[in-house]
Amino acid sequence: MIRRVPMLLSELPRRVAACVESVLDVRADDGIGRRLRELGFVAGEPVRVVSIGPFGGDPFVIEVGNTRFALRRSEAARIRVRATATAPP
Amino acid sequence: MNAASLDIPLRIALVGNPNCGKTALFNLLTGSRQKVANYAGVTVERKEGRLVTPGGRHVQVLDLPGAYSLVATSPDEAITRDLCLGNFAGEALPDLMVCVVDATNLRLHLRFVLELKRLGRPMVVALNMVDVARRRGIVIDRAALESELGVPLIETVAVRRHGAADLLARLDAVAPSDAGAVVATEAGAASDESLHAEVRALMQAAVSMPRGTHAMDDRIDRVVLHPVLGLAILSALMFLMFQAVFAWAAPRMVGIEAGIGALGSLFSTWLPEGILRSLLVDGLVAGVGSVLVFLPQILILFLFILALEESGYLPRAAFLLDRLMVGAGMSGRSFIPLLSSFACAIPGIMAARTISDPRDRLVTILVAPLMTCSARLPVYALLIGAFIPQRTVWGVFNLQGVTLFALYVAGILSALGVAYAMKWLRRDRTREHALMMELPSYRVPHPRDLAIGLYERGMIFLKRVGGVILVMTVLLWALSSFPAPPEGFAGAPIHYSLAGRIGQFLQPLFAPIGFNWEISIALVPGMAAREVVVGALATVYALSATDADAALQLAPVIAAQWSMATAFSLLAWFVFAPQCLSTLATIKRETNSWRVTLGATAYLFALAYLASFITYRIALALA
């Protein structure tokens, strides 16, 4: 059972459908936070973890909308998401 | 339209997100009428081309670097921002911005269109890859999107002949008075929330699209990004690449060498013995040869790298290896350039362009010369053949093979060490290294894009790098030939020349690492390329041998005259020493910085000296 509470994208299990809640800036004028929003990580966008890197569980392949991005753990950990479904395909 | 307006070329700029098919469209529009250079003062590639519309209008097309946003996070994006805002000194504002979007990825790309629209400059939107979008069941109401967007919207298919016909027709219709006219500006910069809300509204009004990414991409990614299968596929691809370099390039390299040799002997028979003949044969022809001989390897490696990039595989490979490379102070993108450097550092350093982060790119360029390139093999073969006995060790291994393997490992380990040291020295906690790398849809590379890319790389090498190498080779020839020895001089003429004197002058410097004066002299002309040292040593030992069997005749001579410690010391020297002008010229060209080039030269020589010193002393102590 997947918790339907907000969690960080870096904690989301693979292939579980979720929705972006917000992107957290880790400092004032956080360039990475801003870029993530520009890339489409904005509230309400569907998001899921497609794949996790073979070495040390980093980086992640994230699908947001219909685009895929490779994000490092520290980048994925800026994104708060909420799982929307419980059954990965 | 009057005649005068036809004479003044219309200047347009292609702007768009990375992976929107902008460069393919640029190639379709301009074909071979392209000019590649760098923007003033930076190492960002500037691509400009020309075209003539069906209506006879001359158009200058600038292909701006791909950008996600006007808030730049890389040197490439800063160029695009400055050009779009008219802030780049020496570059005029374009008369018309052609904003290219991928019809299959509108949700991401429309955001940048809206950002550009707010600049209030004349623009049209090229809705690219409409054919792929249609096949994937994406339905776009062009008229509705155009009216909602308030910007002319033109469908293009960059991979099809005539795929830009509508765009060309549009360029004919742009009235000269339009050019330079500023349309109404929407005041103030919009927040991301409101831009995304606008994109969502546009998508709702004009686009119906199946959910999620393309099913085919998903199927391929399940295999390619798999922790085990993905790494297996990557290894297989890299193995194939190396096979290709050695199976396809090697015969052509032999052919080029034979051709150069034939040209040399042709001059030798035509011209009387003397300075002119020596200049042509030993200087110019040999110099041209040392440039051309690398070309097959460079082109084959670049064909692979371009195909991997165009197909969308390269970012996936970078994803798989990112964690490993980060540990060493680089990024996943560094892997392919470093791997290419095992064949030759030149394509490796040039391929570092695919690394978006400037610091990761610099570190990759600086350690690429440490990878054991194929030009080191003749030197290693000579020394190993002369000093390491053919003996079986640990039951199965050949001692000579083990030595060669150890030299490769030494190169890799020192590259990791240097990269790690640079990471540690230049650590900067305020700036985080971002990856945030898009994995674009897979596509079959278009032959035209591969051909143009390959042609560009080949020309950069021949013109920019080749020129320097040629000048330096002639200079080294002059150093080795002048002044000529007097009548009755005992010993090789090179001994009397400037190169010989430089070698003797350097000899006290090289004595602590066990190099005799013969080696010291050979290292001077050997600056041209590593393998030249073999021929230079033959010259110093006054062996009247042609290059082909120089090593055969040389091996017993050096085996008799050098100590084991000296041989090991020279091997260690060649693991590090930047005895390759082509590599140094490429570093200069790719970083556009003398400081970096001299820094790289200095650190590599310093490491070489240190490694040789330690090797020599240990070998002496053990002997």
* pLDDT tens-digit series, residues A32-85: 999 999 999 999 999 999 999 999 898 999 999 889 999 999 999 999 999 986
Size of interface A-B (CB pairs under 8 A): 114
Q: How far is B223 from chain A (nearest CA, A)?
A: 10
Instruction: Name the helix (H) or strand (E) containing B101.
Output: strand B96-102
The confidence score (pLDDT) of residue B204 equals 92
Helix or strand or coil: residue A6?
strand
CB A77 within 8 A of CB A9: yes
The residue type found at B215 is A
Residues of A in contact with B107 (CB under 8 A): 40, 65-67
Preceding omega of A59 cis (within 30 degrees of 0): yes
The confidence score (pLDDT) of residue B400 equals 84
CA-nearest residue to A76 within chain B is B436
Closest CA to A48 of A16, A71, A76, A23: A16
Residues of A in contact with B116 (CB under 8 A): none
Query: How many CB atoms sit inside 10 A of residue B203's CB?
Result: 18
Q: How far is A7 from chain B (nearest CA, A)?
A: 20
Token pair 């590639």: residue: B45
Residues of A in contact with B324 (CB under 8 A): 55
The confidence score (pLDDT) of residue B470 equals 75
Q: With an 8 Å Cβ cutoff, is B41 touching chain A?
A: no
Closest CA to B61 of B12, B109, B28: B12
CB B541 within 8 A of CB B557: yes
Instruction: Indicate which of B70, B132, B196, B203 best probes the interface with A, i.e. most A CBs within 10 Å of its own CB.
Output: B196
CB B138 within 8 A of CB B165: no
The confidence score (pLDDT) of residue B465 equals 66
Strands A60-64 and A67-71: antiparallel
Residues of B in contact with A35 (CB under 8 A): 68-69, 71, 73, 434, 436
Kindly state the DSSP code that residue B158 receives in the 8-state scheme.
Answer: T
The confidence score (pLDDT) of residue B428 equals 64
Instruction: Name the helix (H) or strand (E) containing A76.
Output: helix A73-76
Q: With an 8 Å Cβ cutoff, is A35 touching chain B?
A: yes
Closest CA to A26 of A81, A74, A73, A69: A74
The confidence score (pLDDT) of residue A12 equals 94
Residues of B in contact with A70 (CB under 8 A): 315, 318-319, 322, 332, 435-437, 439
Instruction: Name the helix (H) or strand (E) containing B202.
Output: helix B192-206
Query: How many CB atoms sit inside 10 A of residue B61's CB?
Result: 24
Q: Closest partner residue to A55 among B111, B324, B432, by Cβ?
A: B324
The confidence score (pLDDT) of residue B464 equals 66
Closest CA to B613 of B578, B580, B568, B579: B568
Residues of A in contact with B228 (CB under 8 A): 54
CA distance B147 to B127: 14
- Residue B554, Cβ density class (10 Å: 0-12 exposed, 13-18 middle, ≥19 buried): buried
CA distance B294 to B347: 10
Q: With an 8 Å Cβ cutoff, is A21 touching chain B?
A: no
Number of H helices, E strands in chain B: 30, 12
CA distance B422 to B432: 16
Q: How far is A82 from chain B (nearest CA, A)?
A: 17
Helix or strand or coil: residue B455?
helix
CA distance B139 to B209: 6
The confidence score (pLDDT) of residue B181 equals 44
- Residue ranges of chain B with per-residue pLDDT less than 50: 1-4, 177, 179-188, 544-545
The answer for A 48-67 residues in CB contact with B (under 8 A) is 50-56, 58-59, 61, 63, 65-67
The residue type found at B1 is M
Distance of CA B394 to the CA centre of its chain: 41
Strands B10-16 and B58-63: parallel
Alpha-carbon dihedral B536, B541, B545, B551, rounded to 10 degrees = -70
CA-nearest residue to A51 within chain B is B225
Q: Which two tokens stand for residue B120?
A: 């209030």
CA distance A44 to B286: 65
- Verify whether the Cβ–Cβ distance A72 to B435 is below 8 Å: yes
Q: How far is B519 from chain A (nearest CA, A)?
A: 45
Q: With an 8 Å Cβ cutoff, is B76 touching chain A?
A: no
Helix or strand or coil: residue B58?
strand
> What is this structure's pTM?
0.84
Tell me the sheet residues that pair with A80: A8, A22
User: When comparing pLDDT for A26 and B64, which is higher?
Assistant: B64
CA-nearest residue to A41 within chain B is B196
The confidence score (pLDDT) of residue B7 equals 66
- Kindly report the length of chain B: 623
Q: With an 8 Å Cβ cutoff, is B428 touching chain A?
A: no
CB B50 within 8 A of CB B30: yes
Token pair 């006995």: residue: B389
CA distance B389 to B400: 7
Q: Which ranges of B284-344 would DSSP assign to H, the alpha helix?
A: 286-292, 295-311, 314-327, 335-340
Instruction: Indicate which of B314, B320, B326, B436 best probes the interface with A, i.e. most A CBs within 10 Å of its own CB.
Output: B436
Kindly state the DSSP code that residue B352 receives in the 8-state scheme.
Answer: G
Residue B5 φ then ψ, to 5°: -70, -20
Token pair 């060790």: residue: B393
Q: With an 8 Å Cβ cutoff, is A89 touching chain B?
A: no
Residues of A in contact with B321 (CB under 8 A): 55
**Strand runs labelled E in B141-284:** 153-155, 207-208
CB B288 within 8 A of CB B306: no
Helix or strand or coil: residue B61?
strand
How open is the CA angle B602-B291-B516, to the nearest 5 degrees?
50
CA distance A19 to A47: 5
- Verify whether the Cβ–Cβ distance A66 to B324 is below 8 Å: no
- Verify whether the Cβ–Cβ distance B436 to A35 is below 8 Å: yes
Preceding omega of B65 cis (within 30 degrees of 0): no
CA distance B283 to B271: 14
Token pair 């790719």: residue: B590
> What Rg, from alpha-carbon coordinates, does chain B have?
28
CB B322 within 8 A of CB A53: yes
CB A39 within 8 A of CB A64: yes
Q: With an 8 Å Cβ cutoff, is A14 touching chain B?
A: no
Q: With an 8 Å Cβ cutoff, is B4 touching chain A?
A: no
Q: Closest partner residue to B193 among A40, A42, A61, by Cβ?
A: A42
Residues of A in contact with B218 (CB under 8 A): 50
CB B600 within 8 A of CB B369: yes
Q: Which two tokens stand for residue A12?
A: 């989301």
Q: Look at the alpha carbons of B319, B325, B329, B330 in this order and tell me if their dihedral is positive or negative.
A: negative
Token pair 């002059």: residue: B478
Instruction: Indicate which of A20, A48, A64, A66 best probes the interface with B, i.e. most B CBs within 10 Å of its own CB.
Output: A66
Residues of A in contact with B192 (CB under 8 A): 34, 37-38, 42
- Verify whether the Cβ–Cβ distance B225 to A50 is below 8 Å: yes
pLDDT of A86 strictly over 60: no
- Verify whether the Cβ–Cβ distance A31 to B435 is below 8 Å: no
CA distance B15 to B81: 10
Q: With an 8 Å Cβ cutoff, is B322 touching chain A?
A: yes
Provide CB contacts within 8 A for B424, sequence distance 6+: B329
Closest CA to B142 of B197, B198, B195, B207: B207
Residues of A in contact with B226 (CB under 8 A): 51
Closest CA to B562 of B499, B621, B515: B515
Q: Which two tokens stand for residue B108?
A: 């991401």
CB B545 within 8 A of CB B553: yes
Angle between helices B547-561 and B377-387 (to 10 degrees): 40
pLDDT of A25 strictly over 60: yes
CA-nearest residue to A22 within chain B is B193
The confidence score (pLDDT) of residue B284 equals 77
Q: Closest partner residue to B107 among A36, A38, A40, by Cβ?
A: A40
